[in-house]
Amino acid sequence: MDTRIHPIYLDYNGTTPHDPEVIAAMRPFLETEFGNPSSSHWFGIRPKRAVETARRQVAGLLGCLPEEVFFTSGGTESNNHAIKGMARTLKEKGRHLITSTVEHPAVLEVCRYLEKEGFETTFVDVDATGMVGVDDVAAAIRSDTILISIMHANNEVGTIQPITEIAKLARQQGICIHTDAAQSLGKIAVEVESMNVDMLSVAGHKLYAPKGIGALYVRKGLRPEKFCHGAGQEMGWRAGTENVLEIVGLGKACEMADRHLDYAGRHLKAMRDRLYSGLADGLADMHLNGHLEKRLPNTLSLSFKGLEANRILEEIGLEVAASAGAACHSDTVTLSHVLEAMRVPLEWAKGTVRFSTGRTTTPEEIDRAVDVVIKAVQRLRKQY
Q: Amino acid identity, residue 147?
A: L
The CA–CA distances, whole Å, from 42 to 36, 47, 48 equal 10, 10, 10
What are residue 156's DSSP bridge partners? none
Active site residue 176: no
Report yes or no: 102 and 130 within 8 Å, Cβ to Cβ: yes
DSSP H helical segments within 332-362, as ranges?
337-341, 346-349
Q: What is the DSSP letter of 235?
A: G
Report yes or no: 142 and 98 within 8 Å, Cβ to Cβ: no
Taking alpha carbons only, the member of 327, 326, 383, 341 closest to residue 101 is 341
The CA–CA distances, whole Å, from 118 to 85, 89, 95 equal 15, 14, 7
Residue of 64, 111, 176, 328 marked active site: 328
Taking alpha carbons only, the member of 242, 194, 199 closest to residue 220 is 199
Indicate which residues carry an active-site annotation: 328
